[in-house]
């Protein structure tokens, strides 16, 4: 009692036991429930992966059909939630809107709010998976002043998201299947990543038995930071700022300069000391999408490839084992699809909702479940007596 380890940033502390995701950072391996991410990205689809993360096994055809159909039952938002949007400034960042609206689900869906009731947890999981794409797409529509588009259950998960982002009531809209497939892959790659900052946030928030929707909103808040999910938006902004291959050297030097707070966005990872396997798949997806759209000469993609090459040959990056992470190429793919930079992290949040939900369910159902209550190393003043205001100097 009273003896504990001091580990700021959790560099060497396992906060839980989990059977969801496995990462070997030295070898660059990522498995969901034992299945390599490369196989899932190639053969699976997002809802199947969500099922796998939450339930532990790939579904049979019948289980999958049932799961997809239940998700589809829940894709609409309560109509009064559209009023909630209208309280935001028109230019509100989609992540700010996501934090608010997902949090507000706790007020709208009170019959699936009891974390200690397994049946309510299941409904909460379906509602989250089904409604987060609608919430994300509407945050974009609100920004650009177009009417909200209702979900279309005849489409796949990714097609429906593209529809809600880009369709208008004025004309027919048919999602491009190649782009939908690429987006589905982006969703799969982002679906879970064990105990990262946002998943840990969801677990800590949820450990008190708090409302599941409020816990996911807390995860979204954590994801937003530029060192975490915000890095995809920051990477694209950085590439735009670099603008020309001639300026790469200048930015590499800045990233190495310890007096400059600038970091090479989309590079480095706490766990991967090798290529992030998601970045390799994403680079391939970049080629496919740009090819489909006739954008093979996309200057930003060329710039990114060149930047990667230069960084990987640079002593500083080699010594510190800094490799591209998932966020390095994802922005280029999404931008080519016509998705604005400000939506990148919202799309990450949409996909990570599957992982957050799985992590939250594993945490709350665990026989070892305890409220998360870290200790601290107190470094403040020793006991002292109150000084009346007229005696203070």
Judged by CB under 6 A, the stretch of 16-24, 153-161, 323-331, 362-370 that binds ligand CMC is 323-331
* Residue with smaller CB distance to ligand CMC, 269 or 335: 269
Measuring CA to CA, how many Å separate 298 from each of 114, 286, 287, 303? 49, 10, 10, 9
Q: Tell whether residue 228 is a contact of ligand CMC (CB under 6 A).
A: yes
- According to DSSP, the residues that pair with 35 across neighbouring strands are 32
Fill in the DSSP letter of residue 10: G
CB of 326 to ligand CMC, least distance (A): 5
CB of 198 to ligand CMC, least distance (A): 8
Judged by CB under 6 A, the stretch of 44-52, 163-171, 226-234, 357-365 that binds ligand CMC is 226-234
Which tokens go with 235?
Answer: 């990477």
Q: Tell whether residue 334 is a contact of ligand CMC (CB under 6 A).
A: no
CB of 344 to ligand CMC, least distance (A): 11
**1 a catalytic residue:** no
Q: Tell whether residue 326 is a contact of ligand CMC (CB under 6 A).
A: yes
Count of residues touching ligand CMC (by CB under 6 A):
20
Catalytic, out of 45, 192, 276, 327: 327
* Residue with smaller CB distance to ligand CMC, 176 or 274: 274
Helix intervals (H) in 27-117: 37-43, 46-55, 61-73, 81-85, 94-108
* Residue with smaller CB distance to ligand CMC, 101 or 231: 231
- The residues, ordered by sequence, that sit 6+ positions from 352 with a Cβ below 8 Å of its Cβ are 190, 191, 192, 193, 198, 199, 219, 223, 229
* Residue with smaller CB distance to ligand CMC, 41 or 231: 231
What is d(CA 316, CA 264) in angstroms, rounded to the nearest whole number? 12
Q: Tell whether residue 277 is a contact of ligand CMC (CB under 6 A).
A: no
| Cα-to-chain-centroid distance, residue 297 | 29
Q: Tell whether residue 255 is a contact of ligand CMC (CB under 6 A).
A: yes
What is d(CA 370, CA 333) in angstroms, rounded to the nearest whole number? 41
* Residue with smaller CB distance to ligand CMC, 16 or 180: 16
Residue of minimal Cβ distance to ligand CMC: 268
What is d(CA 45, CA 153) in angstroms, rounded to the nearest whole number? 16
**43 a catalytic residue:** no
Q: Tell whether residue 210 is a contact of ligand CMC (CB under 6 A).
A: no
| DSSP-based three-state secondary structure for 154 | coil
What is d(CA 304, CA 232) in angstroms, rounded to the nearest whole number? 13
Torsions phi, psi of 30, nearest 5? Answer: -140, 120
Are 244 and 235 in contact by the 8 Å Cβ rule? The answer is: no
Contacts of ligand CMC in 17-76 (CB under 6 A):
none
* Residue with smaller CB distance to ligand CMC, 264 or 332: 264
Dmax over Cα atoms in the chain, in whole Å? 77
- According to DSSP, the residues that pair with 31 across neighbouring strands are 22, 36
Torsions phi, psi of 29, nearest 5? Answer: -110, 140
Judged by CB under 6 A, the stretch of 63-71, 110-118, 176-184, 221-229 that binds ligand CMC is 221-229
Catalytic, out of 93, 190, 269, 314: 269
Which residues form the interface with ligand CMC (CB under 6 A)?
A: 9, 196, 227-229, 231, 255, 263-270, 320, 322, 325-327
Active site residues: 269, 327
């Amino acid at each position: 009692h009273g003896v504990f380890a001091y580990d700021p940033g959790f560099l060497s502390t396992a906060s839980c036991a989990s059977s969801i995701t496995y990462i070997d950072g030295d070898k660059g391996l990522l498995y969901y429930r034992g299945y390599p991410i490369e196989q899932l990205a190639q053969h699976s689809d997002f809802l199947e992966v969500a099922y796998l993360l939450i339930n532990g096994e790939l579904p049979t055809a019948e289980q999958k059909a049932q799961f997809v159909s239940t998700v589809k039952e829940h894709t609409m938002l309560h109509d009064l939630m559209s009023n909630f949007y209208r309280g935001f400034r028109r230019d509100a960042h989609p992540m700010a809107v996501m934090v608010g609206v997902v949090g507000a689900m706790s007020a709208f869906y009170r019959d699936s709010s009891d974390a200690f009731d397994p049946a309510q947890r299941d409904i909460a999981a379906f509602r989250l998976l089904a409604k987060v794409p609608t919430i994300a797409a509407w945050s974009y529509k609100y920004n650009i002043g177009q009417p909200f588009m209702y979900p279309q259950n005849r489409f796949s998960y990714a097609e429906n998201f593209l529809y809600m982002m880009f369709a208008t009531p004025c004309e027919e809209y048919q999602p491009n299947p190649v782009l939908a497939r690429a987006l589905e892959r982006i969703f799969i790659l982002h679906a879970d990543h064990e105990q990262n900052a946002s998943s840990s946030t969801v677990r800590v928030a949820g450990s008190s038995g708090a409302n599941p929707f409020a816990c996911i909103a807390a995860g979204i808040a954590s994801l937003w930071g530029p060192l975490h999910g915000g890095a995809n938006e920051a990477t694209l902004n950085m590439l735009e700022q670099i603008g020309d291959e001639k300026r790469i050297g200048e930015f590499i030097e800045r990233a190495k300069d310890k007096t400059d707070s600038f970091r090479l966005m989309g590079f480095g990872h706490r766990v991967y000391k090798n290529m992030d396997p998601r970045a390799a798949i994403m680079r391939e997806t970049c080629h496919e999408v740009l090819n489909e759209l006739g954008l093979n000469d996309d200057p930003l993609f060329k710039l990114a490839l060149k930047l990667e090459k230069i960084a990987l040959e640079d002593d500083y990056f080699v010594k510190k084992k800094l490799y591209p992470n998932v966020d390095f190429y994802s922005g280029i793919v999404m931008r080519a699809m016509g998705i604005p930079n400000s939506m990148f992290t919202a799309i990450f949040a949409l996909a990570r909702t599957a992982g957050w939900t799985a992590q939250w369910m594993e945490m709350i159902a665990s026989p070892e479940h305890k409220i998360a209550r870290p200790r601290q190393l107190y470094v403040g003043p020793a006991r002292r007596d109150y000084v009346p205001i007229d005696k203070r100097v």
